[in-house]
Chain A
């Protein structure tokens, strides 16, 4: 694939640059170890891709197979600041892959209009931290269009992609995890992949789902998430959680980057306390897979939910409350949250802010001794 060669060449050029770039995170000491996806969703040929290449591949497939599809946002024309759209403008033309003016509310509103007319709109918000100017368009418009018109109009063909979550040094406005703001909005779907394989399949599902979807891409995984990704077109189900390791003592639930933290924590808990952890990647924030979560909670009787976003009203609160309501008689300990703190996301203090493996391990010890 010539495209990937170009991408790799560009990436190697970027990483040689003396300037510390946000997307040059693979070189840094990060707070997690990446666990590649072992299970392939489909048989057939694979190629080694990282997450941004897998996303690029999903967009490529979409543009090739759906003539109405267009990809737009700030700086997507030259390939995007995280390289997710590299080569697409050359391949499909600037009518279908184009830069917009620098206005998130404009991007969202424009995208809704494109989708209203039945065309596939794939809009990019450069960072999830900058999605808030579009909050009104997403929450008051996109989410409610089908409902308020009695099904006459909708913008189901809309997908908003946005890099999210911690990156090591992103500080207040390049690190946020705003999923819970949107989880409170009926009419939206919110999805977060943990790997390159998942990113491709889930993004294709979001794009083809007949509802407006928000797809948050953990930016620290753009380069760190490398695995053998199927070359073919495939979709992965929305609203479905993945049980990654079976366990009997405690259920650990996370999404995005945090899944990799939890997988490592599960190993540590086994080694240190001989505790058997069941690790679940929630995958879909809205709607979320209640069945898989409750089943696991009833089995292990202890649940820890972990996310990077602040604790108060984070999505963990919704999980805790629902698990408490549905699994009350099975629980041996209070459902626990290990999350970011109720502060803005700090720059220099990031190592202390993140719900890292040590804080998660601490929580396991506490829940086991409750």
Chain B
């Protein structure tokens, strides 16, 4: 971008100075060593063969898995050997997400909340990666990562309060539903602009170097096309940031299939081009996701370098409540992936080991439904924050011009209060 003539000129001047001051060293410079070129821009060899380098020159990156489609561990040495309690915890949280999603999706359809986005089909990417980290590790997300929060202890009440924007919402009702955040859980508040969090995650990781904490940053296959993704990968590599870039490649960005999103070997293949180690995993296999994230974290901390994980999965639900995905993809495709869902895979694994059965499943579903509905009705009944909170938090303090605008609004409200939905809001 800013390749100005000026910048080049300046370089020349400084070059001149450098040469003047170290003139005797100058002749030591060479442009070739042992028959290889010494261009500053790359370490490589000469060739006299004129040939393109392209996808044909190498194999696509394989997908790492631990379980097969029936939930059987293929190689015992790759079983993370988590305790039964932890695995059951993982399964119950995944189930929890799906129940919650159903209820909140329906409530939007009924007009009770303005917007919602489900997580169907991607529960294992969220839970598997969250389980491999500590709460002290910082999370930057996109919007389809509620499982990470739930794993960390974010309650259904937190979620319902945020979707309703009531006075208990940690975000004070300022953002759309699904834009969660929790300082306590080190989950940076979600924002709508795609991929903006990726370079931020690199910066956060740089700041946290040496504190034994890593940063994980989630984004979708579509967001990876943004310039911010490119900037972030490059910054993280050149500045040695202990950050895990976790791509949820679910096949679609709203209606856009991946073959209209990129022509390379997905997102993982970009890693080596930036000098970043990459992993590609089965995003529907909670153990594979867990192992990959665990290994990435260890590497980040020992090497102070970034990792890219690409979790291959499928977006079972619509993009959001504003989208009907049957308009752009065959129902058969959705059906096929439904029978290969991460929840079913882990369920089979648990059933084979007698840790789960249909009775438990029904009980859990029923209990969860009740819990979600209870929180949901409670959130619905709560008042919204004071309207004056609209002016809060723009700056650390309220500047004079904002105070004035608030006072003007207050005077107006006195006069026209019957035209505002004041009964739903805490009294200002």
| Residues in chain A within 8 A of chain B (CB atoms) | 10, 13-14, 17, 19-23, 68, 74-75, 78, 81, 95, 98, 100-106, 108-119, 121, 126-127, 129-130, 133, 136-137, 140-141, 144-154, 156, 173-174, 186-187, 189, 209-211, 239, 287, 290-291
Contacts and interface: CB of A to CB of B under 8 A. Distances in A.
Contact of A133 (B1, B12, B179, B215): B1
Nearest to A137: B196
Contacts, number: 194
B396 A156 contact: yes
A119 B231 CA distance: 21
Given A109-B202, A145-B189, 18 more contacts: A95-B209, A104-B2, A110-B199, A110-B235, A113-B199, A113-B202, A113-B207, A114-B204, A116-B204, A126-B2, A126-B7, A136-B228, A145-B191, A146-B393, A150-B171, A150-B181, A152-B181, A290-B400
6 contacts: A21-B6, A22-B6, A106-B235, A148-B171, A148-B175, A152-B189
A99 B202 CA distance: 15
B40 interface: no
A143 B199 CA distance: 16
A114 B203 contact: yes
A159 to B, nearest CB: 14
Interface in B67-101: none
Contact of B232 (A106, A116, A129): A106
Given A109-B228, A136-B196, A127 B2 contact: yes
A276 to B, nearest CB: 29
A141 B13 contact: no
B67 to A, nearest CB: 35
Nearest to B401: A287
Contacts of B183: 149, 152-153
A103 B198 CA distance: 14
Interface in B162-195: 169-172, 174-175, 179, 181-183, 188-189, 191, 193
Given A110-B235, A113-B206, A152-B189, A141 B200 contact: yes
Given A104-B1, A106-B232, A19 B9 contact: yes
A68 B206 CA distance: 11
B150 to A, nearest CB: 18
Contacts of A145: 189, 191
B252 to A, nearest CB: 23
A148 B179 contact: yes
Contacts of A98: 239
Contacts of A81: 6-7, 10
Contacts of A146: 393-396
B17 interface: yes
A14 B172 contact: no
Contacts of A106: 199, 228, 231-232, 234-235
Contacts of B227: 103, 105, 133
A147 B394 contact: yes
Contact of B396 (A112, A154, A291): A154
Interface string B345-375: 0000000000000000000000000000000
Contacts of A20: 9
Nearest to A291: B400
Contacts of B228: 105-106, 109, 136-137
Interface in B1-20: 1-4, 6-7, 9-10, 12-14, 16-17
Contact of B395 (A102, A121, A141, A211): A211
A296 to B, nearest CB: 17
A152 B200 CA distance: 16
* In the complex, the 5 A-B pairs of residues with the closest C-beta atoms, listed nearest first: A113-B203, A109-B199, A106-B231, A149-B189, A113-B200
Nearest to B390: A147
B1 A153 contact: no
B19 to A, nearest CB: 12
A274 to B, nearest CB: 36
Contacts of A10: 17
Given A136-B193, A150-B393, A211-B395, A102 B1 contact: yes
B208 interface: yes
B399 interface: yes
Contact of B181 (A121, A129, A136, A149): A149
Contact of A141 (B3, B4, B6, B196): B196
Residue among A20, A121, A141, A173 with most chain B CB within 10 A: A141
Contact of B205 (A23, A104, A113, A150): A113
Contacts of A105: 199, 227-228, 231
Contact of B235 (A75, A100, A152): A100
B6 A153 contact: no
Residue among A106, A117, A239 with most chain B CB within 10 A: A106
B159 interface: no
Contacts of A21: 6, 9-10, 13
